[in-house]
Amino acid sequence: MIVAFYLVIDPGSSSMSKIFFLLLSFFFSVQLFGQESKLAEQYFQNGEYEKAGQLFQRLYDTQSSSEYYLDRYIDCLFKLKQYAEGEKVLKRELKKNPQAVKLYVSLGKLLESQERYDEAEKQYQMAITEMPPDQYQIILLGNALAMDQKNDLAMAVYAKGAKLLNQPALFAEYQGNLLLQSGDFPGMITYYLIYLSENPRQQGKVQMNIQRYLPEDYQEELQAQLYGRINEHPDDIALIELLTWSFLQKKDYRNALRQSKALDAKLAENGNRIFHLGQIAANEQDFQPAIEAFQYLIDEKGPGSIFYYEAKKQLLNAKRKQLVMSPSYTREDLLALESEYEQFLTGDNRNRLIAPLIMEQAELEALYLQDLPKAIQLLEEVVSMPGMEQDLQSQAKLQLGDYYLMEGEIWDATLLYSQVDKIYKDDALGHEARYRNAKLSYYNGDFQWAQAQFDILKASTSKLIANDALDLSVFIMDNLGMDTSTLAMAAFADAEMLVFQNRHAQALEKLDSLAASFPFHSLEDDVLYLKSKIYIKDREWQKAVTVLKRIVDEFPDEIRADNALFELGTLYEGPLSDPAQAMSMYERIFTDYSGSTFAVDARKRYRSLRGDKLQ
């Protein structure tokens, strides 16, 4: 910082001239002092301790209030092994300033370096004995001992300091840090919780330290201590919030919700933390606590709540996902959910703001209740809603196009896809529309045009579209090399179209006919893979496992081998509940098929099942 002095000086005034020259002299002396300090530091860093020591001594003599210059001077004497001089300087400084008890630590270190251990220990104890009731000096002393790995002595300093100042929690953070360095994690937790109770605004700092340094094995210890302190201090909001946070870290949303409900009631909140937790749980596909969170908002906060309407939407969304992702559900379950949609989507509710929910119901009707006419009717309503946001309208058009295609209305489907493609030429939504049009051409047997489109889409900004396009491009290229392959490909594409239309029995017949008509064709593994998809859709898990294992065993070098392994891993991890088998499948992908697009995800899933803490 440059300080400018502006003076109006009368040339005839000798007193003003003296002031001017005094200020000028002061300015230049400050500059010179700063340069000397930088030079001394440079000497020290370069290991030129004699030169550095001379400068730091002069700097300290000039500015004796600076502890830094004294510390550096002592460091230089220490490096030069001039112990006698160092001892003399420190004793002189302690005599001048007996409250600077940190100097006892410097003296103790000096004595230790000469193997005068008993004398050194006396200096450390003297520091604690002579410690004044001064928070700054206590912290300096504690830090000096901690830096020298004398954690027990530092703990004693903070314990005595808290008594001297009559503030039991004043140094709790420092004590927690010391116990962390010592590997005493239960003790660390104890002092961090004491610190948090006295400093609730520092919750973020405490959470960060716990997340960064507390081993996974001690999470239960953290929660046990939290429960104990909360029982003693039931109104300590910071502790309850930390307990909620600890459950969230473990993805234990049920217990996190229980604590959040308690806080919501205790603080008479508007439900914001409950809504946020419900969203987190739903995103993590832990649907039951998500459903309970949204139901709580509806029941407890009522229609006047700012979250009531959104909670209703999120509740239906979570219930739908929970149902369709379940390995076992009945038609009655689907009809009950449909009834909930119908009850909510009545009268004034049917507007553009609720359009996403209507689109969800359309998916339920088309893909699970197999009521395509109703699904199409719902989406046509969404597409024609006045004031509809273009992005949402276009998404509805893509969904409607799919259902037209499932009905066999190919022209209507391609018209909708093309409309979206035209609006969003270079965006992900446009790429999605173009991909669906290319897939439609593939279904119709126009393989060369479809492949050209897939080749373009391999560069899509959407990773999912790019991967799917690459997959289909390679698939067409690999299977158009044989004389009879056009007929086989056409039959296979017909089967895929039937699967898309949920006509599974007909698709299986077509695939069996293809296998019989074209034995030993390069499509053999693809036929098995498509069969596995049908069985998975129909929730016939064991049949799916059987055909997927055939692919892995009989066609290990074909392009479907890694797909089959990943599907097997997903089945074992999910509906079949066999984590060991799932790990085995995932491990084979990233070891035997390291170049696979599934390799990264397989490794993550493997590590998650193994219990690794993933960032």
DSSP code per residue over 245-282: HHHHHTT-HHHHHHHHHHHHHHTT--SHHHHHHHHHHH
Can you give the residue range of the structural domain that contains 182? Answer: 168-247
Is residue 246 within 8 A of residue 256, CB to CB? The reply is: no
Residue 104 lies in a domain: no
- What torsion do the CA atoms of 547, 552, 553, 555 make, to the nearest 10 degrees? 100
> Which pLDDT does position 474 carry in this prediction?
85
Output the six-digit token pair for 551: 């692919």
Residue 440 lies in a domain: no
The domain spanning residue 497 has which CATH number?
Answer: 1.25.40.10
Residue-wise pLDDT tens digits, 205-255: 999 999 999 998 899 999 999 999 999 999 999 999 999 999 999 999 999
Which is nearest to 468 in space by CA: 477, 457, 480?
A: 457
Count CB-CB contacts under 10 A for residue 217: 8
CA distance 138 to 99: 10
Three-state secondary structure call for residue 191: helix
- What torsion do the CA atoms of 14, 19, 21, 25 make, to the nearest 10 degrees? 160
The domain spanning residue 184 has which CATH number?
Answer: 1.25.40
Residue 508 lies in a domain: yes
Choose one of 222, 247, 272: the last residue of a domain: 247
Residue 492 lies in a domain: yes
- pTM comes to 0.76
Write the CB contacts of 427 (distance below 8 Å, at least 6 apart in sequence). Answer: none
Choose one of 193, 217, 247: the last residue of a domain: 247
Output the six-digit token pair for 327: 């390995």
Which is nearest to 23 in space by CA: 3, 46, 45, 43?
A: 3
CA distance 98 to 57: 20
Single-letter amino acid, residue 309:
Y
Output the six-digit token pair for 143: 């830090």
Residue 281 lies in a domain: no
CA distance 350 to 180: 58
- What torsion do the CA atoms of 269, 274, 277, 278 make, to the nearest 10 degrees? -160
CA distance 215 to 222: 10
Output the six-digit token pair for 422: 């035209």
> Which pLDDT does position 513 carry in this prediction?
94
Task: Give me the number of domains the chain comprises.
Answer: 2
> Which pLDDT does position 570 carry in this prediction?
94
Residue 540 lies in a domain: yes
Residues of the chain with pLDDT under 50: 1-13, 18-32
Which is nearest to 244 in space by CA: 234, 235, 257, 225?
A: 257
How far apart, in Å, are the Cα atoms of 117 and each of 110, 113, 583?
Answer: 10, 9, 57
Query: Quick one: three-class SS letters along 126-162?
Result: HHHHCCCCCHHHHHHHHHHHHHCCCHHHHHHHHHHHH
Choose one of 247, 274, 294: the last residue of a domain: 247
Residue 393 lies in a domain: no
CA distance 341 to 330: 17
Residue 219 lies in a domain: yes
Is residue 469 within 8 A of residue 458, CB to CB? The reply is: yes
CA distance 445 to 410: 13
Burial class (CB in 10 A: 0-12, 13-18, 19+), 149: exposed
User: Helix (H) and strand (E) counts for the chain?
Assistant: 32, 0
CA distance 318 to 341: 12
Work out whether the CA dihedral 169, 173, 174, 179 comes out positive or negative. Answer: positive
Q: H-type helices in 80-134, by residue range?
A: 83-96, 102-112, 117-129
Rg (CA), the chain: 37
Is residue 593 within 8 A of residue 587, CB to CB? The reply is: no
Single-letter amino acid, residue 202:
Q
> Which pLDDT does position 38 carry in this prediction?
87
CA distance 611 to 137: 46
CA distance 374 to 267: 46
Count CB-CB contacts under 10 A for residue 403: 27
